[in-house]
Amino acid sequence: MVAVIIGIGVALVFNKLDKNIIATALSPSVTYFSVGTYNDLEMAKSKKNNYEEAIIYNDKGLYKVIIGVYSNPDTILLMRSYFKDQNYTFSEDKMKMSNEFINSIENFELLIKSSDKSYYESLNKSILEVFSRMINS
């Protein structure tokens, strides 16, 4: 009985919350690989020049130089290993993204998992292009 009452209370609270807050809370997350975070855009651009496919993501005034964004755990492991083999010094973090983005990169991630490492760079570039379009729209 207590569980039912608590459940009804939680349902009422969620019903009164803004629908965007609920949608954001339920959004899937991705893991991104970053080679630097800067307060200054010029410094970020300078760092980006060392990584041909990298993009700069403005996260509330912090400029992150992103070299990869993935949702599939197997792809994350493969690309982590790939970046280490490239001798990149990077960090990993998570961010919420839309289902649209996850669906847009799904085929690229499948190709990464089933292809030779020689194709990783071009597939990663395609994923970063989709990510860039999503964050800049």
Q: Name the residue ranges covered by the structural domains of the chain.
A: 28-135
Q: If pLDDT is split at 50, 70 and 90, which confidence band does 82 have?
A: very high
| Pick from 6-10, 29-33, 107-111: least confident | 6-10
- Give the residue from 63, 64, 125, 137 showing the smallest Cα distance to 98: 137
Q: What is the pTM of this model?
A: 0.78
pLDDT digits (tens, 9 = 90+) for 87-97: 999 999 999 99
Place of tokens 């954001």: 24
Query: CATH homologous superfamily for 28-135?
Result: Sporulation related repeat (3.30.70.1070)
pLDDT of residue 131 exceeding 80, the answer is yes
